Amino acid sequence: SQQGEEDPQALSIQEGENATMNCSYKTSINNLQWYRQNSGRGLVHLILIRSNEREKHSGRLRVTLDTSKKSSSLLITASRAADTASYFCATDARNNNDMRFGAGTRLTVKP
C-alpha cells in the first residue's frame, strides 16, 4: 500500500515564485525522501531527511520533517520553468524492506 500522500495533487505557479508541496504518512519511518519525475522518465532522487532531522537544504530545495505530525514539506524557491515535473515523497518505514511512494504533486511553472 502507498505510504506517503502528497498535497496538493497539482500546483501551477509563475516563474520566480516559491512552490511548496506537502507529504503526509501513517507509520514510523527511518527516513523520508523526495524525488522528481519528468514526464515519461524515471525518478531522480532529490533529498533524503532522516527521522531525527527537522530540516535539510540542497540548493533551492528546502525539506522539513515533523515526525509528531507525520508530515514533510518540500519548498522550491525561485522556481524556474525547468522545475516543471511531478514530485514524489517516499517513506522508508521501520517495518518494511522497501520504500513506499505517494501519488505525487504535479508542478507547472509558467515562464
Single-letter amino acid, residue 66: D
Minimum CB separation of residue 16 from another protein in Å reads 27
Q: Please give the Cα distance from 99 to 36 (Å, whole number).
A: 15
Nearer to another protein, 19 or 93 (CB): 93
Q: List the interface residues with another protein, window 55-74 (CB under 8 A).
A: none
Q: Which three cell numbers stand for residue 3?
A: 505510504
Give the phi and the psi of residue 38 in degrees, each rounded to 5. Answer: -80, 155
Size, binding site for another protein by CB under 8 A: 25
Per CB under 8 A, which region of 12-20, 58-66, 72-80, 100-108 contacts another protein? 100-108
Q: List the interface residues with another protein, window 15-34 (CB under 8 A).
A: 30-31, 33
| 74, 23 Cβ separation under 8 angstroms | yes
* Closest residue by Cα to residue 104 from 60, 74, 77: 74
Interacting residues toward another protein by CB under 8 A: 1-2, 30-31, 33, 35, 40-45, 48, 50, 88, 90, 92, 97-104
